[in-house]
Amino acid sequence: MANLGYAIINEPVISGIEMARDNPWLTAVAEEYKVGRKTILVSEIYWQTREKPGAYNRLAYSFGFKQKLTPNFRIHGAIGGSLRQHDAGGPQLRLFLGFKYELAVSPRVAH
């Protein structure tokens, strides 16, 4: 899988001072590998340009899983960190745990 994104960020006002922000680009390459009927392993490498002027761009990775618990309910998690020297641009460590529930919507059939 490959992703490309662009975010538009407002410039927040903190204590009456407008803080400059850059609109970041994000690109990612990921893969999924099915290891069981209900289990998928995932890995990702991503690059994001900075949000704050003068900050570092981010180059990072993550490894994780997706586990189907019921036909509509899944749990997924990942761990990763920066690929840059001294974690420049971060994150030093990134942990993620999430849940996904899919609603089944049946189309109404006219008689």
In angstroms, the CA 88 to CA 68 distance is 35
61-97, pLDDT tens digit by residue?
A: 999 999 999 999 999 999 999 999 999 988 899 999 9
Q: Which two tokens stand for residue 40?
A: 């998928």
pLDDT of amino acid 57: 94
Q: Give me the residue spans of the domains in the chain.
A: 2-101
In angstroms, the CA 10 to CA 23 distance is 9
Mean pLDDT, range 46-57, rounded to an integer: 92
- DSSP helix, strand, coil percent of the chain (3-state; round to 5): 5, 50, 45
Could you count the other beta carbons within 10 Å of the beta carbon of residue 88?
13
Single pTM value for the model: 0.73
> How many percent of the chain have pLDDT more than 90?
69
Give the contacts of 90 (CB within 8 A, at least 6 positions apart).
56, 58, 60, 82
